[in-house]
Chains A and B, each alone.
Chain A
């Protein structure tokens, strides 16, 4: 009884000190028990990217809880993973400051940050302070490529930045490949594809990658019109009218949730007659919130996106937990890759057997991890640029108002339906 009371008072003291110290930014003195391993997890949880940012943070937290629940990092005496969370507000200067702040509070590893601008601003911090930085999600190729180049040219000694996410160029290549395979599987040969995309960083990057891959592959289908819109749009009626005027067989949309909510009803209202909607890869086409708003407009829509591997029994459990903790949301690209990011880091720590930056980086480079929940084309490894070449996309389809993997065959959980049935 006595011990319990003393323990509780000590805990409250510690919590008070911790709160005060954390606020003032002073590094905490270590307490008894195996010290927690602090990972700085920084995402845009406010501002225009708040929706994916909050999903990433929750995914990371779930993974940390899973690792701790299974006994922590065994190679470090069962040390728990503690997340120090940060908000970039989608601003690069805030991203940099947050990275510095969590490192000051003891973060030994960084993860983040979805938005390429903030991520690029955090790279110098990682390099300057020698803190390993795992990019869980970010599209721009140069983020890792530039660091690799600097190391190669001798301007930097060691690469601290690694990315476990498909790069912009790989999105495009896989999408073009899947388009061809899906058409062949369905036994149809559409000729005219209209590419429509949101004109922000992600949309432009993907659209460019898609067009470049198309030009390189020279398939039997043509991109007959390319229609970008400012994101977020208030009205897409003219854009859809333009698409309709191009007489498409297929509409290939790259959207964000807001623009998808405008695009799909508009396509139906204007009675654009097509074989189907096949997305080269973007959010907005499969999330629980989107399905709730768009309902049957999304039925039969195909999208080539980074997706979780639902053939893995652990995935279904994680998805269920995520649904509960997020108030009904889908375990998808954002939450999934942040989840895998923490799981990956746990594996790295087990192999590094220490939090020393050189040991962690060496362990990162030697990664060969198969415990991820997302669909990969092989184990997680890092190439000479610091990217994971096995991070790929999967073609999913909305069937029965639920997103399910339909291609490639190894990942498919249902048979693909194409062309879409006439309404």
Chain B
């Protein structure tokens, strides 16, 4: 086996894992706090990507700066969606939650199609083509930066949840909704902010990933499925889990591409998912099956 290839595969997998992690962090937060499965997750990310594209093409803002705007826009979207839609179904049977978010996903995907057309697009950034060579192996700078931002974002979220009052209320509501209500937490507000922050993460992820991946309106579904995989493997509701899960899934796929046929690499991540579901459904860092 060509060692250089294996080494490059490992490095590629690790760095691309940052991308995966970034997209999964928002999902795990929403589920962790509200126990709602956001099937529109991937489509929200695609909107984050398109917003970044608009900023880059119309206003010349580099996505590595513009992601803040995308995060803010999706935060607002998340708040509104939660307040008027998700709030109504927090206690509803699971199938209704699924149906609601599927409907939202359909609307988002086709609104993007009507607004932006069907062609895949990509955002140009100053970093898109830079590489650093370490002997025969190369490091993709754009992915390195995204990896760094993924760490920073996860850290920031972690600090928010543990050090701020709002964050602590969120964790309280997640662990024991009734108890949180008893002590006077405005649970509805907590939920709204949680959904908003989750959406903001997704928006930021979309923007940061837009120079790396070509995207089109129909790309949301695959992104949702991948994110669910990562969150389950890492553990629902665990930030560290989402981060490590993203790296793991990406590494598994990359090594699958090296040793098997690359067209089977998704098989590797799905098989990993099945194994985790069977033997450790709480995920690697999760707290317990809900």
Contacts and interface: CB of A to CB of B under 8 A. Distances in A.
Q: Would A and B touch once assembled, by the CB under 8 A criterion?
A: yes
B218 A50 contact: yes
Contact of B214 (A199, A230, A262): A262
Contacts of A234: 16, 19, 213, 222, 226
A242 B129 contact: no
Interface string B217-247: 1110010001000000000000000000000
B189 interface: no
Contacts of A258: 120, 214-216, 219
A107 to B, nearest CB: 25
Contacts of B258: 238, 241-242
A264 to B, nearest CB: 11
Contacts of B216: 48, 50-51, 232, 258
Interface residues on A, range: 20 to 34
Given A268-B129, A293-B214, A241 B265 contact: no
Nearest to B110: A46
B4 interface: yes
Contacts of A53: 118
B5 A48 contact: no
Contacts of B19: 234-235
Contacts of B5: 241-242, 245
Interface stretch (B7-15, B28-36, B156-164): B7-15
Interface in A207-235: 227-230, 232, 234-235
Contact of B262 (A48, A51, A238, A293): A238
Contacts of A205: none
Interface of B: 2, 4-5, 8-9, 12-13, 16, 19, 110, 113, 117-122, 124, 128-129, 131, 138, 140, 213-219, 222, 226, 250, 253-254, 257-258, 261-263, 265-266
Given A234-B222, A265-B128, A289-B121, 16 more contacts: A50-B218, A53-B118, A228-B263, A234-B16, A234-B19, A235-B253, A238-B8, A238-B254, A241-B12, A257-B119, A258-B120, A258-B219, A261-B120, A262-B213, A270-B138, A293-B121
Interface of A: 46-48, 50-51, 53-54, 199, 227-230, 232, 234-235, 237-239, 241-242, 245, 257-259, 261-262, 265, 268-271, 289, 293
